[in-house]
Amino acid sequence: MRWCLALLALWVLARLGGLLMAALTAAGSTGGWGAGWLWWLPLDACLLALLLLWLPPWRWLLGFIALSLTGSVMLNLASGVTLAVFGRELNVWLDVALLSAGYQLLSSNLGQPAALLVTGLLLGGLAILAWGMWRLLLSVCRQSAGYSRAWRIAGSAGVAGLILMIWGLDQWFDEPRLGLDAPLASAVSEQAEQLPITLAARQRFGDRQRRQQPDVAPLTELAGRDVVLIFIESYGMSLLERGAAGMPTLLARTSESLAADGIATASGRLRSPVRGGQSWLAHASVLAGLTIDNGLDYRLLLEGQPLTLVQDFAATGHHTMTLMPAITQPWPEGRAYEFDTLVNAAAMDYAGPALNWVTMPDQFTLKSLATRWLSEPSGPVFAQVALVSSHAPWTPILPVRDWASIGDGSGFQPWADAGPPPEQLWRDMAEVQRHYADSVRYSLTVTLEWVARYLPDDALVMVMGDHPAAPVVTGAEASPDVPVHVFSRDAQLIQAFADFGLHRGLMPPSQAADAPMACWRHWLHAMFGAQPRALSQPCARDNASGER
């Protein structure tokens, strides 16, 4: 019976997005799909099948339904992919830009002919789906037109009875094995609801950009110099304020040894927009010179024309690059920032073991930065580096190895199963706090050693935390501030930071920061730009951290 075939086809189409998400999730999980919803009744598919019993076989109407159904299936599939790959909900009004990024990713990985072939197959598949659904709907409606009115009423009553039975079971049991949902209709309604919210948010964000964000401008005083911006994961001021893992002593001792080697230093503190996670929001705030503290603002920032430090340094004549050892999946944000070179985990050519969440030790990342990535481009480099060894769950804690023995990272194999497993560690919060401090000390130590060993003569290195750990680890009263340190063999560069309010040495001031991380780009413009500009609150010099 054609009507039963149509019902089965609609049922499958309604489940495609969920099935794809489950398959993608299961590919990286040992826990199974957990797809009990697969047996739920897709209400929208059933209602459309019921409608086919009564619709006249008008080609234009059924063509419109087939196109609408194809669009719903596309949204359903896109929602499943977005949730499985990016860990967030789809917003089609913003994510349409990912189509271009996805094509560029295919082109760079497979080549232009293969990318065109894949794109053609996808578009052809959608066209075939729309045509096939139109033919099936037309055939069903033509056949239904020959049925008696009583037969159609009986079929409609049967479908309605099935819906009511499933609804009743859903109400009767606390955790029903059967239930009702409407995946195709939900995919459309969710995107429709997001449209006014997105438009309003875009308007507010655009106004804030015009008022607060600097325009792109060359940092002429840094022309010809390598500039490195390093983020240390979870490095918060609360660790230094309570003297955790002896880090204040480490900073004081290292400050003296670096000074003896001719490396000048200065330090301050900034207020992070986040705590406990979402490091990319802190990175975006520093690069953009605009506080980004939520996912929608982050996506709006990357949707528009970039106005960040990346473009500032490109205008200064730098080759711009980012090292992101934690990135193991497609990262369209990197292309949105317009870095010249994107280095993800695969491009690092690390041959050692993964260490729970951490893809590779920070010492390997920093050694590669010095010996491979900074030496490759012919001109000056601006490099952003996001270290990962101090990312939760903070086990195992690695020793600092001899730099000459790092090689391809295979020497880290003995630490693959070292330390307590996360599920054991996190039963004792005191141990979690100790491991947190020890892991940050490791990242800080290797960063300071890297500066001492590999800092080029005329380079500027800027090191800062991205955010403190979650309040459950640091305490609810812990500071939201992060330390920032600057290093150079050119004392005049560091003098500019000292004149701007940072403290000499590696110990940040004790008073709380009254400037957010977003001010860093404003300060670099004021210190090193061709046309220094007046700073507005909260980035005015009177609000810079440290003594004047």
pLDDT digits (tens, 9 = 90+) for 346-356: 889 999 998 88
- Cα distance between residue 265 and residue 487, in whole Å: 5
**Higher local confidence (pLDDT), 182 or 282:** 282
Model confidence at 543: pLDDT above 50: no
In this structure, the answer to whether residues 39 and 153 fall within a common structural domain is yes
In this structure, the answer to whether residues 229 and 191 fall within a common structural domain is no
Asked, for residue 506, whether it belongs to a domain, the answer is: no
In this structure, the answer to whether residues 129 and 225 fall within a common structural domain is no
Tens of pLDDT, residues 254-292: 999 999 999 999 999 999 988 877 788 899 999 999 998
* Position 101 confidence tier, pLDDT thresholds 50, 70, 90: low
- Greatest CA span in the chain, whole angstroms? 97
In this structure, the answer to whether residues 124 and 260 fall within a common structural domain is no
Question: Angle between the 183-212 and 43-52 helix axes, to the nearest 10 degrees?
Answer: 120
Please state, rounded to an integer, the average pLDDT across all residues of the chain.
82
327 neighbors 250 (Cβ within 8 angstroms): no
- Cα distance between residue 138 and residue 351, in whole Å: 58
pLDDT score recorded for residue 233: 94
In this structure, the answer to whether residues 91 and 150 fall within a common structural domain is yes
379 membership: H or E segment, kind and range: none
Tens of pLDDT, residues 473-507: 787 778 889 999 999 999 999 999 998 889 999 99
- Cα distance between residue 426 and residue 415, in whole Å: 19
Tens of pLDDT, residues 430-451: 888 899 999 999 999 999 999 9
Model confidence at 87: pLDDT above 60: no
Two tokens, residue 83: 């949730």
Count how many Cα atoms sit within 13 Å of the Cα of residue 131 in the half-sphere of its side chain: 6
Binning the chain into helix, strand and coil, the percentages to the nearest 5 are 55, 10, 35
Residue in the block written with tokens 């739920």? 40
Taking the alpha carbons of 520, 522, 528, 534 in that order, is the dihedral positive or negative? Answer: negative
pLDDT score recorded for residue 517: 94
Total number of domains constituting the chain? 2
Two tokens, residue 224: 């010809």
In this structure, the answer to whether residues 8 and 154 fall within a common structural domain is yes
515 neighbors 277 (Cβ within 8 angstroms): no
Amino acid at 501: G
Domain's final residue, options 200, 234, 254: 200
Residue in the block written with tokens 């400050």? 255
In this structure, the answer to whether residues 323 and 431 fall within a common structural domain is yes
Per the structure, the complete domain to which residue 188 belongs is given by 2-200
pLDDT score recorded for residue 158: 74
Question: What are the start-end ranges of the H helices in 173-278?
Answer: 183-212, 237-241, 247-260
262 neighbors 489 (Cβ within 8 angstroms): yes
Two tokens, residue 279: 């490091």
* Position 173 confidence tier, pLDDT thresholds 50, 70, 90: low
Model confidence at 374: pLDDT above 60: yes
pLDDT score recorded for residue 387: 95
Model confidence at 93: pLDDT above 90: no
DSSP conformational letter for 307 = -
420 neighbors 374 (Cβ within 8 angstroms): no
For residue 142, what are the contacts with CB-CB under 8 A and spacing of at least 6?
57
* Position 547 confidence tier, pLDDT thresholds 50, 70, 90: very low
In this structure, the answer to whether residues 122 and 249 fall within a common structural domain is no
Domain's final residue, options 200, 235, 250: 200
In this structure, the answer to whether residues 306 and 178 fall within a common structural domain is no
Domain's final residue, options 148, 175, 200: 200
- Cα distance between residue 280 and residue 2, in whole Å: 52
In this structure, the answer to whether residues 191 and 258 fall within a common structural domain is no
pLDDT score recorded for residue 29: 41
In this structure, the answer to whether residues 298 and 400 fall within a common structural domain is yes
Model confidence at 166: pLDDT above 70: no
Cα torsion through 497, 502, 504, 510, rounded to 10: -170
Could you give the 3-state DSSP secondary structure of residue 210? helix
